[in-house]
Chains A and B, each alone.
Chain A
Amino acid sequence: MAAAFELRVFDSYNLAESLRNVYTNPVEITSKKQFAYLFGYLTDIGTKTIIIEPDYVSKDYLLDYTNYYAMCFEVYPKTCKRVHFFDSEFNEEEFKKQLSFLPKDEEFWKHYKGFIVVKPIPHKIIGTTVLETYPDKESNGLVRNYFGRRNYNIHLFGTDISVQSLAFQEQDAVLSACATSAIWSMLHKASCNNYAILKTPSEITKEADIIGVQGERMFPNKGLSLLQISKAIYQSGLVSEIRSRRNSFLSNSYLKRMVHAYAPIGIPIIIGLEVFHTGSRTPGLHAVTIAGYRYNRVHPISNPKEEITWRSETIERLFAHDDQFGPFAKITLRDLIDLETDWTKKDQGVFDKSGMKIEPGGRMTKLTDIVVPVYHKIRISLDDVESIVCGIDKILWKIFPGNLPHDISWDVRLDYSDVVKREMKLLLSGQKLIDVLIKPFPKYVWVADSYIGNDISFRIIFDATDLAKSMFGFDAFFFNENIRRDIHDKLSKIPQLSKLITHPFKAQFLDFLKEQTAD
């Protein structure tokens, strides 16, 4: 009888050996970009020991197997291998002893870091991968928000373990290209809500279209278009907010605002990138899934200024599932449009036939598209709210023309109203709080918090399920009496301030603010 598991000490050689299959040897595995990334990631999270589960039935692979691989003349195996990682050292005897304990020894299993499923196909071996994230807090005051993370219950030889992560897998270049893998990872979290359905890569690609944009077959798949991505997302129970540029790039500031705004809903965001390969002068289009970001909790305080300030500017890095590298790959936001990614780091530039470098390496990645999957009842977009907030900010500049101690900054986000109500317990008390808690709210609301320095001064709530061409303001809360009174007095005296808002219902928006600031 074959051993039910194998234990190896974690190092580069043993990781490559663990990931091998009958079609792919360790030398080939170590040449993969994903191998270098995963070895670095596993090292960073402190991996010490590998446990290999040689026969593992992966539902994800099995469905793709029945849809495609089973029809090949070559007899591909239908079971996978699962490789588990621990950040502690132990031997086989100790592991067997741990397996027999009931209840399980929490002290031992807290060192479990996740797994990689190895698919039994040539080269594209990295199947469902669930690895623990980096810690939420760093010692330097920076905070990581993994909004795309969920809980995975893992069953290993009779022991239940849970890991907070988001599933990753590389494209197999047959049933899926990058966009399919990006949608698949997104659905892993979105399907925690009952309105979204998790599909396999083959199902996602199949539902995206019947033929490719140039009339080509969908399988083997060469990639999905933006429209096909949107169709596949729709088939899974969601709709897409798409932002795209054809001959220019979306700015990093806008990316930060979008990610920050939609993160509280918890659905990972798909972005389109222009990336450079070594040796290529023209960039390729690549889709990845944003699952988290790192930001500075403290917003820098500045003097009052006329330009609007967004608190999302403290985001400095995104974490993306990039199927060409691995889970939670770092995207560092540089300047206006430059993104430093693993593509940037790997790019060696372009060489001529004599080997002379004709284009330098380290070319920056750029953002071309943002696809935000949302529940269809969320009809008001960030742009609808941002436009109103920009108008209100201009009105505030006229009411407070530099006489506040610090600059006004805005935190705009979409959230569940029950979360917002819970938060209000930190901001209000007494009858005011009870009034808010018992008031019926729409399930989804946009929240625009206005800060002076790092202190909140008021909050406007917008109904996210309303019509964009309506007065979709829902409620407002003022936490400083002087600010409230000042705004009310000036809005009452100068109704023409509504001219600073461009919206068919601008007068109604002003009336809403007047009403909300009244005694």
Chain B
Amino acid sequence: MYTVFNGSYQSVDIDIDFESKEMKEFIAEAINAQEEILERKNIDIDSLNKVFTV
């Protein structure tokens, strides 16, 4: 069962300086996090040969 968001909030005007150091760091962090997620799909070949023996 769902309840839909009907709450209120104040919209804000945003002005982003993509050349600023802060924003560049923000973008780099975001990209790194996503690349880490995608790297989970890469499997070490040695991992495939470990045997479950218990």
Contacts and interface: CB of A to CB of B under 8 A. Distances in A.
Interface stretch (A4-12, A56-64, A72-80, A281-289): A281-289
Interface string A346-383: 00000000000000000000001100000000000101
Contacts of A494: 14, 16
Contacts, number: 150
A178 B54 contact: yes
Given A387-B38, A394-B30, A494-B16, A456 B51 contact: no
Which residue, of B5, B31, B44, has the highest number of chain A Cβ atoms within 10 A? B5
B50 A226 contact: yes
Interface residues of A, number: 68
A451 B50 contact: no
B47 A246 contact: yes
Interface of B: 1-12, 14, 16, 18, 26-27, 30-31, 33-35, 37-38, 40-41, 43-44, 46-54
B47 A391 contact: no
Interface of A: 177-179, 212-213, 222-227, 229-230, 242-246, 254, 272, 275, 277, 284-287, 324, 368-369, 381, 383-384, 386-387, 390-391, 394, 398-401, 403-406, 426-427, 451-457, 479-480, 482-483, 486, 490, 494, 496-497, 499-503
Contacts of A213: 49, 51
A383 B41 CA distance: 7
Contacts of A243: 40-41, 43
Contacts of B18: 496, 499
Given A227-B49, A426-B2, A456-B2, A390 B34 contact: yes
A482 B5 CA distance: 10
Contact of B47 (A222, A369, A394, A401): A369
Given A387-B38, A390-B30, A502-B34, A285 B54 contact: yes
Given A390-B37, A403-B11, A427-B2, A242 B43 contact: yes
